[in-house]
Structure 1
């Protein structure tokens, strides 16, 4: 319970209270659980005061010094805390719905589970603040500083964050549905499994963000800036690919990787059972010796729903495809996801000499990317013929397609 003497001093007014605080710097006032509804204390020195579970509805605390105060579970509904100093304050579970916190200093404060629905936080300093599970629905955070703030996970649905600084903020699993983020600074922010459905991200600074698993249904993404201030402006319209685009443009290693993928990757399709694994290993090893980057897709493993998508993605990265259709009817199905839709990726089929061509071959042989099948009797012959009968026809076709497009 609140200390009666401290309460009496408080009700004498700001001047008397501040004088007493100056003369008693070692005393920590205790106003816990007091009912201070409508109290008028603008500019009061409330540094370090214990307000735990105190009622401060519509309190007038503009410009007050509340550094390090304990306001856990306090009711500050509609309170005026504009320009108040709440650095390192404890506000876990506090109700600040509709409160005026414009230009307030809340750096390093704890707002876990706090309710700030409809609060005015324009220009407030919330840097390095811990706000896990806080409720900022429809809060006004225009121009607020939330750099390095911990918002994992917080509810910012409908919040106005235009021009806010969210650099380095942790927004994992945060809700920003219908939020306004126009021109906000999101550099180095963590946006993992964040719901941005319907949000407006126009003109956001997103250099260095970590964006994974975002929910972006109906999100407006235009003119997202992916370059730092000291570099020429580069804008994109998709937050999920922005980080990749920037890396591709600025990092030589990334460009080398892309060049490697587009010039050296060979996708190998087949059904490689234990008995025929030696053939697979020999084929891969020989391709490596010839400076290719072989990628194997083995259909012995159970099929997943996204198998076709995976195959298509790998094929798009490949220079050409080698498809061993020996005992592999499933490979014919996967080729349906490649041959008709990728007219610039040659497919070189191979098969054991003792086997007949599958009946579906008529469908593929009409396609210019599908090369003449190569028959081999065993592993030794396959490796001996690899350069002239497998790689060479594929490379000729690659050059033919590239000549047409140049």
Structure 2
């Protein structure tokens, strides 16, 4: 049957289209190269946008079609081919894309809400600001996709393949992720999240990334302390002085990421540091921070310092038993330059 005949049946509406599909189960309709906004939709109003409800578009040839600015509700696209198609700014609600082939299609700014992408292939699709909220991506292939500001809120992402993806500023609120596969040459690494997949793939496949991490861990110095106005001034001076020795000082005086508590973030920073400077003057949160760092990082020198007019808090004595906790240094604001020189000497010696 010529493509024009398929289009004629389509224009009769969902009821007639679906009836014809039921009567001709062996026919795979060919709507390729069609524009669903103009070719398949007649309207007397110039700016009227089409809304398609309940159409059976399974096993169709939809290659190179344009669905721009069209609305699809409760439509079945399963096992259809969408290669090189344009779905930008389309809106699909409660639609079935299971086992559909959407490779090399444009889906930026499209909305796929509560849709099923089980077994679908979206390789090489560009998905900037695309909305997959509430959808199901199970055993879906996402290889080489561009995911920028993509909305995966309340989405299930499980057993998907993500080799070569670019993922930036994703919305993953309420997203359930598991078993994310990084595949290359039929080998796979499994990680729990999309964001981690991108990082691990870079780490595994790029010696330059490993060199960067080695550089970071040889330069970063973590500075801990209390951040009241008077104490923060001291820590800033230490930071500025440490920089003159070629180190990269990090003062933890910012809020932790939304999905992690402060202690977890400090542990992450400690794992990247060459040594830690811990100002135990007027302690507040530092006892808890050190209790999570010192016992678990035996190769990380910890240099405690304290303002000369103060005494260490009671429980600190316990930490002094660890060989990698160096002898504490007392200081006054006037001799910080000399103290930093001593800190660097102590920590370099301890590392060697």
Residue 178 of structure 1, CA deviation: 4.2
Q: Secondary structure in 1 aligned to 2:224?
A: strand
Corresponding residue for 2:307?
352
Does 2:189 align with 1:236? yes
Distance in 1 between the 2:171 and 2:67 partners? 29
Does 2:154 align with 1:207? no
Is 1:321–1:346's contact at 8 Å kept on the other side of the alignment? yes
| TM-score for the superposition, normalised by structure 2 | 0.77
Corresponding residue for 1:266?
221
Corresponding residue for 1:393?
346
Distance in 2 between the 1:217 and 1:101 partners? 29
* Greater length-normalized contact order (CA 8 Å, ≥ 6 residues apart): 2
For structure 1, the 5+ residue unaligned runs are 1-40, 63-77, 400-406
Does 2:249 align with 1:294? yes
Match of 1:188 among 146, 149, 152: 146
Distance in 1 between the 2:102 and 2:144 partners? 12
Is 1:196–1:217's contact at 8 Å kept on the other side of the alignment? yes
1:56-105 deviation per Cα after TM superposition (whole angstroms, max 9, x unaligned): 4243899xxxxxxxxxxxxxxx9x77112353221742124333452223
For structure 2, the 5+ residue unaligned runs are 42-49
Structure 1 vs Structure 2 CA RMSD: 3.8
Residue 332 of structure 1, CA deviation: 1.9
Comparing 174-183 with 89-98, greater Cα deviation is found at 174-183
Distance in 2 between the 1:216 and 1:139 partners? 19
Number of residues of Structure 1 aligned to a counterpart in Structure 2: 331
Alignment of 1:1-400 (within 5 A): 42-44=2-4, 55-59=13-17, 82-90=29-37, 92-100=50-58, 102-110=60-68, 112-125=70-83, 127-130=85-88, 132-135=90-93, 137-145=95-103, 147-150=105-108, 152-155=110-113, 157-170=115-128, 172-175=130-133, 177-190=135-148, 192-195=150-153, 198-202=156-160, 204-210=161-167, 212-214=170-172, 217=176, 219-222=178-181, 224-225=182-183, 235-238=188-191, 239-248=194-203, 254-255=209-210, 257-298=212-253, 306-376=261-331, 378-388=332-342, 390-399=343-352
Residue 268 of structure 1, CA deviation: 0.8
Larger radius of gyration: 1
| TM-score for the superposition, normalised by structure 1 | 0.68
The 1:313–1:340 alpha-carbon spacing in structure 2 relative to 1, beyond 3 Å, is same
1:116-156 deviation per Cα after TM superposition (whole angstroms, max 9, x unaligned): 54333422336222354303543334333352223633136
Distance in 2 between the 1:196 and 1:302 partners? 23
Distance in 2 between the 1:249 and 1:133 partners? 38
